[in-house]
Structure 1
Amino acid sequence: MLNPHAALPFSAAVHPDARPAARLTWDSREAGPDVAFVALPGETMHGNQFVQKALDAGAPFVLTDLDVPRAVRVDDAWAALKAWAQAERAKNKLVIGITGSAGKTTAKAYAAAALNAHFMPVFNTQPAIACFLVEFGASDRPLVVEMGIDRLGEMAELVELVRPDVGVVTSIGPAHLEQLGSVVNIVREKGVILGGVRGLVGAQAAPFYPDAESYGFGDVTHAGQNLEVTPQAATFTFDGIKIRLPLAARVQAEAAVLGLLLAREAGLELTAAAARLEAASVPGGRYRVHEGRFTVIDDAYNASPVAVSAALDALHALPGRRISVLGRMLELGETEQELHAQVGQEARAKADLTYGVGAFAAELGERAFVTVPELVTDLLEEVRDGDVLLIKASRGISYAPEKRAREGVGLDVVVDALLRLRDGVQLRDAPAKADGSGN
């Protein structure tokens, strides 16, 4: 429990009615009888505007500079939260920090499973990380923290907050270019996590950090062996132990190698770690494979060129007629048309049929649509038994330097439509090719 009346690593005036909480949140919508609220400044409004809402929801205390009931009153709520997070983190013996242009969430999930660790939820902002550290820092279990950046200097701030014992870079590629500027800047910024700690980089990122130890398959420092990927599972061996990851591809297998390496170095029993890996899962929209009369790969949560390339590799490795459904990738700056064209060219090489939607639809696919409903109508008429479909795009809003909002494409609705069709309507069989293989 988080007790506001216990010794705190910052100066505060604690209201006598403040109560211990099980959790701490920066989002007033999550505040409740067991969840305290910290009122932080935001880009457009201050969390103080939601303090009363949190109190009305029963928050045990609020961290704020306001003089209100159940307040833990401080001069600067963010400075206080950061000091609290660092104090709690210092009590933990093993903290893993993970960054990269793609694959962070997958690596986090598999590393945490192998280590039996507490891990960050979906959000990876500094306030979310700080609240996570306050809640779990003193645990006797390791912590795995996802550390994403979208501006210069942010990784140094995150490293100061998290102080990881092991820093991991999963991959490097063009992402958040509107703020980060270039791949050279991305390499430098993400590489900050490797400084002064145990550093590990994924196979794709290894050429960018030639002095760092690498993991994955092939020519890396710490390699899994005998990787095989089928529609049902990815299998490989590590230290002589057979690993089977249901409905997984190479990216998940590389994340599992990372997890096993960390578990081995932490002195954990690898057979038990392997069993936990087999049951590991990632949040929806991140390479979720839905099998059936046709197979849907739901990778619709987010996209960058390196992430789309990895997903297309996974699609290409599967049997059946391969269909890619791609939407806009956000925050690619002045090179976005060129990068979308490159991704579209790769899609055409690795898929049998390609769809594009939204801005740059023509670059992304042979069948180009302005809106998602138009695409769905055509796709539902086209899909056949035995097909395998990859759905991938950025979603949400990107803010350019001039603060001009630009929408991504929410392809989760495409996934939903396909799954409803798969489960409710009999489709025509895919015609076999001339060789009779159907592939």
Structure 2
Amino acid sequence: MIRAYQLSELAAELGGRLNGQNLSVSGISIDSRSVQSGELFIAIKGPNFDGHAYVDKAIESGAAAVLVQEQPVNPDSFSYILVDDTSEALGQLGAFNRHQTDIPFLAITGSCGKTSVKEMLAAILDQEGSTLATHGNLNNAFGVPLTLFSVEAGNQFAVIELGTSSPGEIGYISELTRPDVSVITNAAETHLDGLVDVAGVAQEKGFILDSLSPSGTAILNLDDDFFNDWQQRTLSGSEQRRVRSFSLNNSQADSYGSDIETTTEGMRFTLNLNGQKRTLRIAFWGQHQVQNACCAAVAASAAGIGLDKIVQGLENARPYQRRGQRFALDDRTLVIDETYNANPKATLAAVDQLAECEGHRIMVLGDMLDLGAVSQQRHHDVGAYARDRGIETFIALGDASRQAVSAYGRDGRHFETKASLVSGLRSLLSELDVPAVTVLVKGSRGMGMLDIVRSLVGSDYKGER
């Protein structure tokens, strides 16, 4: 946080009532298992959990005080702030700390690539000065306020990832963040149970533009069908705003790639940015990651970073948790972990990534969840695309993925359980008499496809960097 806050100051900001000593707090936490000494523990109450049950544990762990919406059982044994709604108060605290500083805030949303862009952008900005970036997946209505409250006085930039699982969430957390640079990577078929179709997704992602500062810059994907809609939405909010564009290879964009090559060490390409060119290599694979790099580059440029530092940062960046990590099992077998999550657009990009690999290529697919009425067709599309891209073996898990196996053809294999899939995959690997094999594992987070990767690379692998 920017500075130490007194409980009385926070209570006044929240419209709450302080009971007990007016202590200072060193941070905030919503998890009694990880709360640190001197922090304010916030008892979040939801439909399936209630942080009020862990107030005593938080105090025992060293919390300076607690923030509650229910009167504590032992009100005289510790300091607490009583408010009407602790979830709302959490958001208010994040916004309060954010507005204590005037450093540039860069916010990123999108259906695919937002975490990779966040990692790339943070690596670039670190070349210029201390950068606070969203840790892990703290990108929702709880995680964003926690991230905003963690911004410190020594930070020179903040990179905030914004995600959604329901309509209105992007609007809420964008309003808390109030970005100076708003980035939309793309809109694709995700969270369709709540957002209905890709137009609904684009509308939801666009809320990041509504909260953009009056003189801010929007970074938009020229390759996306909703570019014009987003551009109009940006400029309608303020005549002082600017729009900068990125693309995989469209020379009309402010930032785009050319001379794109896949190498064993990552993607090599020429970055074309604001009329300047520079050839570089990134430790990410797939043409979609070149597009992500072009996105991060123009966003950094909008924050005032020069080309030399942009290139250096991009070359220093690394993939984050289960988003393309590669493991050599032996001299011939490579495993690619793409198991963090899956939607149709990202899965087709994974097929493209696999198609560029050497030797016998094996696609292992778990169901893509939350696709609503288009689920069967999109799984069919993936199987057909893998077949057309020449993937030699297609293996799947999950009811919806039966459609993918059917579309792939007679050499596709569907398994009922992870154990049977792992057994079948191991048998296949031992039987193949080829100089090189690449296995790519993809699926929605709810399918737990990380278990498949761990069965191959070792149980010590937890999905971290």
Which TM bucket (shorter chain)?
Answer: 0.7 to 0.9
Could you tell me which residue of structure 2 aligns to residue 317 of structure 1?
356
Could you tell me which residue of structure 2 aligns to residue 15 of structure 1?
20
CA contact (8 A) 2:132 2:155 kept: no
Offset at 1:221?
A: 3.4
CA contact (8 A) 2:284 2:319 kept: no
1:71 to 68, 75, 80: 80
Deviations along 1:144-169, one digit per CA (max 9) or x if unpaired, are 11111122222221221111122111
Could you tell me which residue of structure 1 aligns to residue 226 of structure 2?
208
In 2, Cα distance between the equivalents of 1:25 and 1:255? 32
Could you tell me which residue of structure 2 aligns to residue 435 of structure 1?
none
In 2, Cα distance between the equivalents of 1:331 and 1:71? 40
Could you tell me which residue of structure 2 aligns to residue 114 of structure 1?
124
CA, structure 1 residues 240+335, in 2 after alignment: closer, same or farther (shift >3 Å)?
A: closer
Could you tell me which residue of structure 1 aligns to residue 408 of structure 2?
none
CA contact (8 A) 2:104 2:158 kept: yes
In the alignment, residue 198 of structure 1 is paired with which amino acid? T
Offset at 1:387?
A: 0.8
**What stretches of structure 1 of length at least 5 have no aligned partner?**
397-408, 424-439
Partner SS state of residue 340, structure 2: coil
Partner SS state of residue 331, structure 1: coil
Partner SS state of residue 143, structure 1: strand
Does 1:387 find its partner at 2:391?
no
Could you tell me which residue of structure 2 aligns to residue 241 of structure 1?
278
Does 1:192 find its partner at 2:207?
yes
CA contact (8 A) 2:255 2:297 kept: no
Deviations along 1:352-374, one digit per CA (max 9) or x if unpaired, are 11111121232233111011111
Could you tell me which residue of structure 2 aligns to residue 400 of structure 1?
none
Offset at 1:297?
A: 0.9
Could you tell me which residue of structure 2 aligns to residue 259 of structure 1?
296
In 2, Cα distance between the equivalents of 1:258 and 1:224? 10
Deviates more, 1:209-218 or 1:411-420: 209-218
Partner SS state of residue 228, structure 2: coil
TM-score (norm 2): 0.81
Could you tell me which residue of structure 1 aligns to residue 163 of structure 2?
148
Could you tell me which residue of structure 2 aligns to residue 288 of structure 1?
325
In the alignment, residue 27 of structure 1 is paired with which amino acid? D
Partner SS state of residue 247, structure 2: strand
In 1, Cα distance between the equivalents of 2:159 and 2:302? 15
In the alignment, residue 61 of structure 2 is paired with which amino acid? A
CA, structure 1 residues 2+387, in 2 after alignment: closer, same or farther (shift >3 Å)?
A: farther
CA contact (8 A) 1:63 1:74 kept: yes
In the alignment, residue 128 of structure 1 is paired with which amino acid? G
In 2, Cα distance between the equivalents of 1:374 and 1:288? 24
Offset at 1:187?
A: 1.4
Offset at 1:278?
A: 2.1
In 1, Cα distance between the equivalents of 2:344 and 2:392? 20
Does 1:3 find its partner at 2:34?
no
Could you tell me which residue of structure 2 aligns to residue 164 of structure 1?
179
Could you tell me which residue of structure 1 aligns to residue 409 of structure 2?
none
Offset at 1:134?
A: 1.2
Offset at 1:258?
A: 2.1
In 2, Cα distance between the equivalents of 1:14 and 1:75? 15
Structure 2 counterparts to residues 13-412 of structure 1, below 5 A: 13=18, 15-16=20-21, 18-21=23-26, 23-33=27-37, 35-65=39-69, 66-67=71-72, 68=75, 69-90=78-99, 91-116=101-126, 117-121=131-135, 122-136=137-151, 138-195=153-210, 197-204=216-223, 206-210=224-228, 212=231, 213-219=244-250, 220-238=253-271, 239-291=276-328, 292-293=330-331, 294-350=333-389, 351-365=391-405, 366-383=412-429, 384=432, 386-396=436-446, 409-412=447-450
Could you tell me which residue of structure 1 aligns to residue 457 of structure 2?
419
Offset at 1:37?
A: 1.9
In 2, Cα distance between the equivalents of 1:86 and 1:231? 43
TM-score (norm 1): 0.86
CA, structure 1 residues 101+282, in 2 after alignment: closer, same or farther (shift >3 Å)?
A: same
In 1, Cα distance between the equivalents of 2:36 and 2:155? 26
CA, structure 1 residues 41+392, in 2 after alignment: closer, same or farther (shift >3 Å)?
A: same
Deviates more, 1:67-76 or 1:155-164: 67-76
In 1, Cα distance between the equivalents of 2:371 and 2:57? 38
CA, structure 1 residues 345+4, in 2 after alignment: closer, same or farther (shift >3 Å)?
A: farther
**What stretches of structure 2 of length at least 5 have no aligned partner?**
232-243, 406-411
CA contact (8 A) 2:288 2:349 kept: yes
CA contact (8 A) 2:283 2:317 kept: no
CA contact (8 A) 1:19 1:61 kept: no
Partner SS state of residue 219, structure 2: strand
Residue identity over aligned pairs, in percent, reads: 29
Partner SS state of residue 210, structure 1: helix
Offset at 1:323?
A: 1.0
Offset at 1:416?
A: 1.4
In 1, Cα distance between the equivalents of 2:201 and 2:306? 36
Offset at 1:310?
A: 1.1
In 1, Cα distance between the equivalents of 2:338 and 2:418? 16
Could you tell me which residue of structure 2 aligns to residue 429 of structure 1?
none
CA contact (8 A) 2:287 2:353 kept: yes
* Alignment coverage as a number of residue pairs: 408
